[in-house]
Amino acid sequence: MFYHVKELQYNAKPERPDPVYAKKLQEILGGQYGEMTVMMQYLFQGFNCRAEQKYRDMILDIGTEEIAHVEMIATMIAQLLDGAPAKEQEEAAKDPAVEAVLGGMNPQHMIVSGLGATPTDSVGYPWNSRYTIASGNLLADFRANLNAESQGRLQVVRLYEQTNDPGVRDMLSFLIARDKMHQNQWMAAIEELEQQQGEVVPSTFPKNLEKQEVAYSFMNFSEGKESAKGRWASGMSMDGQAEFEFDESPKPMGQIPILNPSPNYVHGTPI
């Protein structure tokens, strides 16, 4: 169960309205790697957790924090939308600056939400839950989480570069720090799990049932060999079980597929 306190986790006080920037900021609220994504991803991972209680507790702690991040960014966007000009009210309609603002805004910020944040990304695409994963295998999921915090911090940093409002930057500097912690956190949890079960997900599938011949070879499906120069093409594999191989010109190992004609009741192409 959850409780709310009225204060934000950190300040969300822009120095001045900026409806065009409000549109961009939506990306880290309702985008593929926005706060709604990590919030729902962590909550579902926690609710579904069948592992040790310390994991469930940790995941739900961070999930609960993310709800507060959604709250902060939504609050910021609402304030950035203050003073968005409506064409008619303003004599200034022919003023190019006003026009630029109107053109650069998300029209739904005016028409649909009436100057409020929307649960969408920077092009207005609605958030959907296929952005999230809770697989029941924590090593797999913590990799998803590390990725989400990496993509997310990258996007926040890019948004930081696109404004010079000190209030906005202050809030973003908080989020950038938390995303650094969250990357560290998932790396720590991943290290813990990898030490227990090994690096490959899932660790419980019997090795003898997998096609060993192709389990450690890099296949070069192009002309030229630049791809041989990386760590992935030679040396000990990361799971410490074999040497990487470089297969310079991989050959097909399968059949030429010939499908049966379709039965009459399918009304496929007559033969």
Residue with tokens 């096609």: 211
Tokens of 242: 């074999």
Q: Which stretch binds Ca ion (CB under 5 A): 17-25, 67-75, 108-116, 156-164?
A: 67-75
Name residue 179's amino acid. D
Residue 91 touches which member of Ca ion, a copy of itself, none, C-beta under 5-8 Å by kind: none
Whole-angstrom distance, CA of residue 21 vs CA of residue 166: 13
**Please, which residue, 69 or 109, has the CB nearer to Ca ion?**
69
The yes or no reply on residue 69 touching Ca ion (CB under 5 A) is: yes
Instruction: Name the minimum Å distance from CB 73 to a copy of itself.
Output: 9
Whole-angstrom distance, CA of residue 177 vs CA of residue 32: 20
Instruction: Name the minimum Å distance from CB 44 to Ca ion.
Output: 16
Burial class (CB in 10 A: 0-12, 13-18, 19+), 10: middle
Instruction: Name the minimum Å distance from CB 155 to Ca ion.
Output: 11
Residue 121 touches which member of Ca ion, a copy of itself, none, C-beta under 5-8 Å by kind: a copy of itself
Residue 98 touches which member of a copy of itself, Ca ion, none, C-beta under 5-8 Å by kind: none
Q: Which stretch binds Ca ion (CB under 5 A): 1-9, 65-73, 190-198, 207-215?
A: 65-73
Is the Cβ–Cβ distance between 228 and 220 less than 8 Å? yes
Residue 86 touches which member of Ca ion, a copy of itself, none, C-beta under 5-8 Å by kind: a copy of itself
Q: Which stretch binds Ca ion (CB under 5 A): 9-17, 64-72, 106-114, 202-210?
A: 64-72
Q: Which stretch binds Ca ion (CB under 5 A): 1-9, 68-76, 197-205, 216-224?
A: 68-76
Tokens of 212: 């060993």
260 C-beta neighbours (distance < 10 Å), count: 5
Instruction: Name the minimum Å distance from CB 216 to Ca ion.
Output: 15
Instruction: Name the minimum Å distance from CB 92 to a copy of itself.
Output: 13
Whole-angstrom distance, CA of residue 244 vs CA of residue 92: 67
Is the Cβ–Cβ distance between 175 and 66 less than 8 Å? no
Handedness of CA 156, 158, 162, 164 (dihedral sign): positive
| DSSP-assigned letter for residue 204 | T
Residue 136 touches which member of Ca ion, a copy of itself, none, C-beta under 5-8 Å by kind: a copy of itself
Instruction: Name the minimum Å distance from CB 38 to a copy of itself.
Output: 13
Residue 16 touches which member of Ca ion, a copy of itself, none, C-beta under 5-8 Å by kind: none
Whole-angstrom distance, CA of residue 66 vs CA of residue 64: 5
Burial class (CB in 10 A: 0-12, 13-18, 19+), 223: exposed
**Please, which residue, 23 or 69, has the CB nearer to Ca ion?**
69
Residue 263 touches which member of a copy of itself, Ca ion, none, C-beta under 5-8 Å by kind: a copy of itself
> What is the contact surface with Ca ion in residues (CB under 5 A)?
69
